[in-house]
Structure 1
Amino acid sequence: MKLLKTGIAGLDEVLNGGLPPKVLLLSGPPGSGMEVFARQVMYNQAKQAGVTYFVVEKTPSSVKEDMALYNWDVTALEATGFWKFKTLLKKDDVKKVVLEEIEKDRSIVFDSLSEVPFVREVDEAVAFLGMACRQNKGAVFHMFLLTEGMQDTKVEVAMQHSAEGVIVFNDNVKSDNIQRGIRVKKMNGSFAPPRRLPYSINKRGFVIETATRIT
């Protein structure tokens, strides 16, 4: 299976080359940086394949403004069709719209599952991710964001079970410093790193810290 490079400093080396073309669940609390991670990876991915970025409560302009902080300008990519935003409305058949984009072999970002009402129900949430996994042809990866604590714990566990890959983001405050880390909890078709990976976010975006922190 061909692994796809993330373009994130230090991460591709730890992942032995990159991420597999799977349906990936990104889970973390507000402010953990999972949105930055998804946007950075997909900005790099868009240069090889098309990306569709779904927003629910956010707006395309707010996402573009946030991305501009890291010099990720998608204007040219939008003009060529390699990047497009889709705003999901209450009247939309969310499952149908998302699966249609996956069928086109476009990478998708779903920002975020926690903002969609049907995700509150375990069966509905699991069925949605299951359909996405079956629809995926294995050429590109897809990222579904889930904000921890906005739905029942049973839903979160069930969705982690259904996804083909799970990346968990967390942050802790220690001695007035924020210590962030990600854990590749599950990754079908690849080996998950056996340890938590510390990371920081700076003007370049998401960076894996390869040096051991001295405390």
Structure 2
Amino acid sequence: MGSTRGALVVVGSGPGIGSHVARTFSSHGFTRIILLSRDPSRLEEDAKFIRSETPSADISTLAIDLSKTSEIASALAQVDKALNDTPIEVVLFNAARVGPSTLVSWPMEELELDLRIKVTGCYAVAQWAIPKLLAVKNTHKPAFLCTSGSIYKDPIPEVFSLSVCKAGQHNLVHSIHKKYKEEGVYCGLVVVGGVVGDDRPQCNAENIANKTWALYEERSDLEVEILDG
């Protein structure tokens, strides 16, 4: 196993889980980090947050809108360019659109948009990432990680669109896990069973980030579930 970490790529950075996971991984030697978000205005704040833990971190920020499937390939090509010769070691897929959705009256187009971001987008990133992760299996600890929620198995009607997407996403990542675990790439799910907030005893971003690191290090189970109460 190589002594030098590869890059961490966070798809769906933000002030919650995404930036906290990146900061935690940076404290464990991941100093080459690529942050992607559809909201480029907050990416620099995320980078500053990570550097507060690891001042030497080499961080690139790029905009990506997973709802525009025709633009995903070109956005990921920009990641390749930014990485230069640094191999990817870990990808965290954390992209989501969170909000209420009312059954029957929720427009079909909105459900399709959510599916493009959370399921089709996850698949597109996996298509791009898995070959790169396989290529470093003998020198690094490659992993494809995805944040999820307990609603994949216990849906909430008031956020049915998110529930449907998390179920599809869980199925997809489970399939990737079955296919590639024996080939040397670990795939795992971080299942958050509640609303993320600083005041939550377990479902706070820092604890979720620590659990994500433990899941990555242990590499034994498909998922870790984080619950309050």
What TM-score do you get using the length of structure 1 for normalisation? Answer: 0.50
Greater relative contact order structure (CA < 8 Å, 6+ sep)? 1
What TM-score do you get using the length of structure 2 for normalisation? Answer: 0.47
Name the structure where strand makes up a greater proportion of residues.
1
